[in-house]
Amino acid sequence: MEEEDFHERRSPAASESRLTGGMLLEAWERGAGEPPLARARTLLRAACPGRDAEDAAALPLTQRDHALVALHARSFGPAFSAVATCESCGERLEFILPAQQVAGVLQAADVDCTVERDSIRLRLRLANTSDLAAVAALPDAEAARWLLLARCAEAVDGDGRSVPLPESLRETALERLDALHEAAEVALALGCPACDARQAVHLDVGAFLWAEVRNAAQRLLDEIHELAWAYGWSESAILKMGAARRQAYLERARG
């Protein structure tokens, strides 16, 4: 699949925006002081300018990450290039994961499922950013699991009325909710060339994109600093230039 094909199949939440120039620096500046979950929401709003903060936080995680994958493809290219460390021997492992492969995993994952038992229908949905922010505030992992279940589960009786989650369904509901989220994870099996050990590496799309944004913003700030020092131009004037023109001036300033 070519990059253009991937863009055509992207989430409806995505737009044609790219993180460059002033938009890149604004996203970096806003996200620099935020925790990871808030950063993902900030990047999503950069990817989808028409979406407000509440709507962005309510998107299922797979739809949120699909929009972020599309933003990565537009802004930094159609592949995730990263490194990991072998858990057995400490060898550096490099890998490249095509954006289309990541998007395929996210698109294939279910966003909800239904369990029926004893005249009760239980609907479970994939968590969103607001759900994760709520459970992240809890110090106890078990309490966080139950809160996530309470937020992501809805039980109704045979008449369609909402009812409390029956005790008999709680463990099943937790297992199904865990499975729903495991299916939405993007994982890559890596083999170590040094010791032949194999391990799974999980890709956090939001964290990966943030690292790209941070690095690109730092490079752009370095360019602005160098050109402002050499020519006395303002930041806004430099940002109005295209990347090719900035590079041409940088080459001349460096002699």
Q: pLDDT class for 151, splitting at 50, 70, 90? A: very high
Q: pLDDT class for 159, splitting at 50, 70, 90? A: confident
List the one residue out of 184, 4, 188 whose CA is nearest residue 96.
Answer: 188
DSSP state of 14: -
User: Residue 93 in 3-state DSSP?
Assistant: strand
Contact 239, 26 (CB under 8 A): no
Cα–Cα dist 184/203, whole Å: 11
pLDDT of residue 51: 80
Check whether 16 has a pLDDT greater than 80. no
pLDDT of residue 44: 87
Which residue type does 107 have?
Q
Kindly report the pTM of this predicted structure.
0.86
Check whether 13 has a pLDDT greater than 50. no
Q: pLDDT class for 243, splitting at 50, 70, 90? A: very high
List the one residue out of 215, 245, 231 whose CA is nearest residue 75.
Answer: 215
Q: pLDDT class for 152, splitting at 50, 70, 90? A: very high
Check whether 133 has a pLDDT greater than 50. yes
Task: Report the percentage of the chain scoring pLDDT > 90.
Answer: 75
Cα–Cα dist 43/142, whole Å: 30
Query: Mean per-residue pLDDT for 209-238?
Result: 97
pLDDT of residue 204: 93
Q: pLDDT class for 18, splitting at 50, 70, 90? A: confident
Q: pLDDT class for 104, splitting at 50, 70, 90? A: very high
Helix 205-231 / helix 21-32 crossing angle, nearest 10 deg? 120
pLDDT in tens, 175-197: 999 999 999 999 888 999 999 99
Q: pLDDT class for 100, splitting at 50, 70, 90? A: very high
Query: Mean per-residue pLDDT for 5-12?
Result: 40
